Amino acid sequence: MSIRDEILRLKAEKNAIIMAHNYQRPEVQDIADFLGDSFALARKAIETDADVIVFCGVDFMAEAAAILNPDKIVVHANGESRCPMAAMVDLEKLREMKKEYPNAKVVAYVNTTAKTKAESDVCCTSANAVRIVERIDSNEVIFMPDRHLREYVQSQVPDKKVILWPGYCYAHEEITPKLITNLKKAHPKAEVMIHPECSMETIALADHVFSTGGMVRYAGESEAKEFIVGTEEGMAYRLKTLYPEKTFYPVEQSICHNMKRIHLEDVLRALETLEPVVKVPEDIAERAKKPLELMLELGRSD
Ligand code: SF4
């Protein structure tokens, strides 16, 4: 039996669902029941009636699924798949910052650990960050941990003070203005979609600034036939699969090696052993759930 068939057999036997982020390897994307960005995955996690969620994404995403689904078994396909940006938050420094800005609300990008979320007022993803900062009932926010997303949000919500935390995503920092300019020269008819974790200099070259979920929607709706995909390279595979009649040019230098730690063998092992189960201590989970739920409420479009 092929590894793929064995995964499908075990999935049915254990009433499991495989959820995967858009940056996963093509073979992992192909086996997933649900693919999406962090926001879509968080929403889907609460809708599923499966008993087991096998999560193919980095640690904070699996944690969020576990927090939102205390009654389900959430298994991380590879416990070593961790987001370095989420690890750029020092909780002591955050507490000091909260004292320094007593009126500020803490907006934690979903790319944070459960412990960071537990210290925050609301979460956001790249899909809803602007909307969340607009809607949160405070004129000052501490926005963490991505400095580029903070700068983009500040440019879109100029009436509020959006305070910097100096984290970054190495995969998106690889997407330099020079690389995008070269791609534009090579493909002059292509529309340029850029993720807001990129620098403002790179964003300045974009026709559209989108989360990966936004890219999926827009590429389907647009009349354009060619797109430059300014985010982690796995996204281009997702778009090609969805819209085979269109052409997508990835930035090949942008690779999240942490996402790519998950292979089909890991998915199979996770289904066989139901390990490692993602466990968030109850008190942390309870506190981290509130900003996640507030995100789901504030982040809805009208
Ligand atoms: S792409 Fe960047 S933010 Fe996303 S998991 Fe990888 S390092 Fe973290």
User: Which domain CATH number covers 207?
Assistant: 3.40.50.10800
**pLDDT tens column, 206-255:** 999 999 989 999 999 999 999 999 999 999 999 999 999 999 999 999 99
Residues of the chain above pLDDT 70, percent? 99
Taking the C-alpha atoms of residue 214 and residue 209, their distance in angstroms, rounded to an integer, is 8
Which tokens belong to 216? Answer: 């999926």
Domain encompassing residue 183: 171-250
Phi–psi pair at 8, nearest 5 degrees: -65, -40
CA angle 181, 184, 238 (to 5 degrees): 110
| DSSP state, residue 169 | -
Residue 53, SS3?
strand
Mean pLDDT over 98-116 rounds to: 95
Q: Is the pLDDT of residue 301 over 60?
A: no
Same domain, 186 and 162: no
| DSSP state, residue 47 | H
Same domain, 97 and 54: no
Q: Considering only CA atoms, which residue is closest to atom 5 of ligand 1?
A: 83
Pocket test for ligand 1, best of 170, 212, 260 (most atoms within 8 A of CB): 170
CA of 169 to the centre of ligand 1 (A): 6
Q: How confident is the model at residue 70 (pLDDT cuts 50, 70, 90)?
A: confident
Same domain, 243 and 265: no
Q: Is the pLDDT of residue 37 over 90?
A: no
Q: Is the pLDDT of residue 89 over 70?
A: yes
Pocket test for ligand 1, best of 83, 89, 150 (most atoms within 8 A of CB): 83
Same domain, 164 and 175: no
Q: Considering only CA atoms, which residue is closest to atom 8 of ligand 1?
A: 83
Q: Considering only CA atoms, which residue is closest to atom 6 of ligand 1?
A: 256
CA of 2 to the centre of ligand 1 (A): 31
Phi–psi pair at 34, nearest 5 degrees: -145, 130
Taking the C-alpha atoms of residue 79 and residue 270, their distance in angstroms, rounded to an integer, is 10
CA count, 13 A, side-chain hemisphere, 229: 30
Cα→Cα distances 17→62, 74, 158, 193, 267, Å: 13, 10, 41, 30, 11
Q: Which of 86, 81, 45 is nearest to 65 (CA)?
A: 45
Q: Which atom of ligand 1 lies nearest, measured to the CA of 86?
A: 8
Same domain, 106 and 162: yes
Q: Is the pLDDT of residue 31 over 70?
A: yes
State how many domains the chain has: 3
CA count, 13 A, side-chain hemisphere, 139: 1
Q: Which atom of ligand 1 lies nearest, measured to the CA of 23?
A: 1
